[in-house]
Structure 1
Amino acid sequence: MSGSLIHSPLPSGTVLDKRYRIKELIKAGGYGATYKAEDTCVDGKTVALKEMLDTFQDADERQVGIRNFLAEIQILQRLAHPNIPRISDQFMAGASFFFVMDYIEGTDLSTLLRENNGEGFEEQDVLEWGAQVCDALAYVHKLKPKPVIHRDIKPSNLIRRDRDMRIMVVDFGIAGVYNPNKDRWVGTPGYAPPEQQWNQDSVDGRADIYALGASLHHLLSGQRPESPENAHFTDLPFSQWFSNHQEPFTHMKPLNQLRPDLSEECCRLVAKALFWNPDDRYGSATEMLEALRALVPGCGQPEPDVQHDFRLRVREAQAKWIEPALREIARRFPGRCLTPSIPSEYDYFVFSLASFTPLELHIKVNPDALAIEFYRKQGLLQKDLLGTADLRGATAGTEIAGIIREFIEDFESF
């Protein structure tokens, strides 16, 4: 395995994991690329496919990296917040890790800044965006047993979705887990707080508060935050470094100098998020969210998201009815179950039993119909619809139980 960060993006038409066909490259970076792809198992549904290169230098480091990556992805797959795209799948192919997430039709805030000729946005708009991001951060920072820290909040990781103008926070948690080259900056210089370059185990949610403050400063001023002088300070103990850096944003001009039209309260809010010392910032994303809502009542509370609510129903159905039923089938037919594991989250899943030819139960989430569809497939024959469970009704559990019971009866009749 090479430590080189030179990477050629995969060409359009490449099919990965026998399922995902790449349509186009969205962006490429030192550690991999993000693609727009289609899920051939779910009616060509558009998804975002994130590739992360295996750049580890030795076998032991690689094994630790793989374990960390898979563990983090499993955590991220359980996230359920309307401002966070859902991760639906993960796999390895060649020298890369891949994970699949919802594709967001929209424009990131960094691009919107460029389209705005680099000028800062209106105060109320930026505070609304910041409140939505804060709401998502408050959710992940409170997760048990271990909080999720983003570690790379910046305008290019904040996408304004076209269909409802909701701000979506992307690339959650990856920066801190996938950092095989310890000499490289964790996060993005200018947005990442100083403590993020020391012991990663000690970083908490206040690191994201700093990065959000830097992002708000950028969105309001139009000026990208630059790295402070001598920013790579890993040879110094953290306490020694910040003892002489008590003031906020020494590498950024105060907002009231750049935008005299901004309210004093807005400038103070951003400044408080940008103190070098984490103890001087907001103590939590919830506290910062309360400060934002004090300035703009009701901000960060967009209209309900029907598709997000549907995904919560899907997750409940999978955990409450589908997964227990499939595990019971595997227990009843231990030598004939061909499915080694049952994922906790999926858009499309195949459960297979061995007969004289395999009998498969195909489970497909249909967001357009707000339902889960079940298909039966035997050997080389075409699959046929067993039934549909409408998740909007009170009888979904009964419908799912009946469909799976019919599948078992079919298998037992062979």
Structure 2
Amino acid sequence: MKWRYITRWMLDRPHKIGTLLNQYKVEKTLGLGAYGIIYLCTETGTDKPYVVKQLRPSKRKKERERERFKRETQFLRNIDHPSIPALVDEFMIEGGLYYVMEYVEGDNLEELLFLYDQEYTELEALSMMKQLLSIISSLHQQRIFHTDIRPPNVIICQEKVHLLDFGLAIQVDGDNENEMNHYRQDDYYDFGQMILFLLYSQFHGKRSRKLTWLDELTLHPATVHLLKKLLGISEPYSNMREIEEDLQSAIAFFQGEPS
């Protein structure tokens, strides 16, 4: 086990700053995920910034991991949404797989919440998540299910929400309703958890293992209703339209609009 991690560390060391990956020069390493290494690069000749993702060298020997990476690339190639960075390029270097996508300047929600201690009111949290729900809805219409919606994969750029990282995404072929509902509920649950992350930003008490968010947070009944259904505490949502309507009802309360 120890030697496996040593070997992985030796294989998966990120490229050094200044390394050229085709016409893209590495400026810094943005992150090391379970399957990929992410770089901020600039294109030679234009200095335009891009994000380059590399399949970890330790993973590329396995056909399953290569296929996963190619499937993620295919998703990005086919998705056309202003809040999802577009695929720009893809290439191989000495057997290594890479793809290039648009660079979205901003902070992800994990950084905002846990590094910068950003706080969100209930209205701000719900309004932000309304943007995210619109992205998820667009994906579901194409039978694409993200299945990994969490704070590091959501970037905020000038108050606009962007969804990243399709490494675990699933596209269901045909009309297998049972399979689609399984992945649909996964995304609904993750979406509910995202709302909770934002709402807990204003909680300053001491967390208790014996208490739940229902005990620790003081929320409007419409928000509680929404979260209970998203998280499967009460009967779960059967479609996106129901979520959109309940989310808008909760937002309307704080905006003084008739629900």
| TM bucket, shorter chain | 0.7 to 0.9
AA in 2 matched with 1:170: L
Partners in 1 of 2:47 and 2:60 — Cα distance? 37
Contact 1:256 1:264 in 2 (8 A): no
How far apart are 1:202 and its partner, in Å? 7.7
Report the equivalent of 1:358.
none
2:161 maps to 1:158: no
Any idea what SS the aligned residue of 2:247 has? helix
AA in 1 matched with 2:50: V
Deviations 1:302-334 (A, max 9, x none): xxxxxxxxxxxxxxxxxxxxxxxxxxxxxxxxx
2:214 maps to 1:218: no
2:226 is aligned, of 269, 281, 290, to: 269
Contact 2:20 2:26 in 1 (8 A): yes
Report the equivalent of 1:76.
76
Partners in 1 of 2:114 and 2:82 — Cα distance? 26
**1:134-213 pair list within 5 angstroms:** 134-143=133-142, 147-161=143-157, 164-172=158-166, 174-176=167-169, 203-213=182-192
How far apart are 1:288 and its partner, in Å? 1.7
Partners in 2 of 1:294 and 1:96 — Cα distance? 49
2:8 maps to 1:9: no
Partners in 2 of 1:292 and 1:211 — Cα distance? 15
How far apart are 1:276 and its partner, in Å? 7.4
Contact 1:120 1:218 in 2 (8 A): no
Any idea what SS the aligned residue of 1:33 has? strand
Partners in 1 of 2:8 and 2:29 — Cα distance? 17
Identity of aligned residues (%): 24
2:83 maps to 1:125: no
Partners in 1 of 2:60 and 2:97 — Cα distance? 16
AA in 1 matched with 2:154: L
Deviations 1:52-76 (A, max 9, x none): 2144596xx51x5434432442232
Higher-Rg structure is 1
Partners in 2 of 1:38 and 1:116 — Cα distance? 27
- Which TM-score applies when normalising by structure 2? 0.78
AA in 2 matched with 1:106: G
1:46 is aligned, of 44, 49, 66, to: 49
**1:11-410 pair list within 5 angstroms:** 11-16=16-21, 18-40=22-44, 43-56=46-59, 61-62=62-63, 64-94=64-94, 96-115=96-115, 117=117, 121-143=120-142, 147-161=143-157, 164-172=158-166, 174-176=167-169, 203-222=182-201, 253-260=211-218, 262-275=219-232, 280-297=235-252
Any idea what SS the aligned residue of 2:162 has? strand
AA in 1 matched with 2:16: P
Aligned length: 235
Contact 2:222 2:249 in 1 (8 A): no
**Structure 1: tracts of 5 or more residues without a match:** 178-199, 224-250, 300-414
AA in 2 matched with 1:38: T
Partners in 1 of 2:180 and 2:217 — Cα distance? 37
Partners in 2 of 1:116 and 1:268 — Cα distance? 30
Partners in 1 of 2:236 and 2:89 — Cα distance? 36
Aligned-pair RMSD on alpha carbons? Answer: 3.1
- Which TM-score applies when normalising by structure 1? 0.51
Alpha carbons of structure 1 residues 38 and 276: separation in structure 2 relative to 1, 3 Å = farther
